Structure 1
Amino acid sequence: MHNLEKAEINIHVIGIGGCGGNAITNMAQICQHKNLRFSSINTDISALQQCNNHEVLLIGENTTKGFGAGADPVVAREAAEQSEDALRTLIEGDTLIIIVAGLGGGTGSGAAPVLLDIAKESDINVMCFVTLPFNSEGGKRKDIAFHALEQIKQKANATLILSNDSLIAALDETVGLLSAFRHCDTQMHRIVEAIITMLTSTGYINVDINDFSHILSLEGDTALGVGIAEDNNSLCEALTHALENPLVEAQSIAGTKGVIVQLSCQEEPSLAMYEEMLARLQVLIDGASALVISGVTVSPELPHFAEVLIIATGIPTQHPHDTSEEKVVPMKLSSSDVHRAKDTGYLDIPTFVRLQGKG
């Protein structure tokens, strides 16, 4: 008789540089799962000493002596190349890697592309969550960030782009700096948790790693969203919320080549509501030729009735030759949302982000 045990799914979230390491430290505090692993990579040993709840890796010690890359991505790249064997060992056995990095400085900008190359050699899917510097930080950091971004976009399966300036527009002006950064970490945590549930939970209808890999392989932009339903009658509303987060401008998934829609519920959803949600999705994608892969999982531990995860790929790139800031998703609140953002509720807003894929 054949062994029917399911292959282990190993998701590895890796922070690169100071910004990435801080994000991983925050995420590791709130996200625990047996299939999930956190690591931080840096050229600065003092920054790694602050990462006390996950694995760390110092790279390029012979070059930087553990004092950092000096905001020079060339130095960081050399450091990563010197530590290729250690990086290869770090990601051994991974099924999916999610890289978190701040661009515009040294280590995140210089080392992330090297790790992507190593992951590609090992045939590991990689998603990147990157942040761009404030405009007030000057043109040099912006140039470094966009140069690194172009490299990352060519190598990663999908790249989530967040601008620090978007926080100013999206959050109330009284929100503290660290609270704003934690807000971004919370949003990334939501995405990671939803993906873990999709890939590791056994449900009525399963989305497996091969489904996920196929959808990620479709060239073009990628849209990803998470919406919450409070009862059985609001599944369509959750789908809409996933794609119309008040923190970001409304995004179209029309023309997408492939979509994953994963429904996680406290209890069995009704057939009518499930079918209505899928019908609504067909209207949104506006294309009969798109591949739609759906999954349904019952998770009694959910704090709300249901959660809807949408991953749409192969979306026609809006500005294929534009490397300016217009490619960054501007995050903003409409006037009707201003008062809502003044309490901690902004940390619970469903996530919707637009990612730039290979194309």
Structure 2
Amino acid sequence: MPTSPLPPGSTLGILGGGQLGRMLSQAASRLGFDVVILDPEAGSPAGRVSARQIVAAYDDPEALSELGRSCDAVTFEFENVPAASVERLAGSGARVAPGPLALSTAQDRVVEKTFLNDAGAPTVAFASVDTVEDLKAAVQTLGLPALLKTRRDGYDGKGQAWIRSPEDVETAFAAIGGRPAILEAAADFVRELSVIAARRADGEIAVYPLGENSHAGGVLRTTIAPATASAGTQARAHEIASAILNGLDYVGVIGVELFELADGTLLVNEIAPRVHNTGHWTQDGCVCDQFEQHVRAVVGWPLGPTAAHARIEMTNLLGDEIEQWPALAAAPDVRLHLYGKAEARAGRKMAHVNRVMGPA
């Protein structure tokens, strides 16, 4: 991949028109770039704040060719974009980041966990599952409770089922549609952490402070950052993030979700090859937020500073919680980030708020 920086006035393409694409587009515009969105939904949240949107499926050959021709660099906002589409863009000579390897690795949980362990970023024990018989054998090996997940496509708690007794095996396999899966041993963790990191094509790496996360129903509710953590824990998270970035020859921002065990050990839960919900705190806690950082990495600019100047509590607003916006907009210690979505469905991420808790 080229390492020379693209000048302001260049065009950045983004596969995906949701809230992450919207915030990426806003960051790119602030740096002087034009943005083209490819998304199948006309008038997408990202499309409405960008120079142009191509309305087409992510695997549409003509749309991908048009995107590649009209953009100096291309990135994506979520990991379920077809890896073949990214390969097609890269094969045509487009500057694409992150690359197909990162995307294909993150799209398959078995491949992902195998890569992580090989890279020195340990995970819980796991087993690949294709049939009910595979699942029964895996339960015997890993023990219970254990978490069954589809190998592909699951997010925000979807495509998952807990197995707490042998009688749950067939029900759990049916609950995920009998699809190829992974069984993960339960992690006896004391808290969930995450680290947001970035890498340029020349190998430069920048890592943000740890965030501490709380989930409900498989969906992130809050992140507090910087998390209270020892220097050793911070250093280990930095080491894990760097090993992942270098192992994937990664370019861009990545989110790494971690389990902290009682003895301080960090295990990787999963990676997200993109800007990440747990990094939204950086918008109001850092000089260079994760969205600007991703754009900088993709277009070859120097990476920005990652030190926190404020401690932030980020809270997702789901569904009709968006109706709280008048009160939140009036709060002196809150900054409101709205996603421009028309319909407030139950559980849908509509916005987030960053509450300033004081200096970092």
TM-score norm. by structure 2 comes to 0.32
The structure showing larger relative contact order (alpha-carbon pairs under 8 Å, at least 6 residues apart) is 1
Specify which structure has the higher proportion of helix. Answer: 1
Q: Output the TM-score relative to the length of structure 1.
A: 0.32
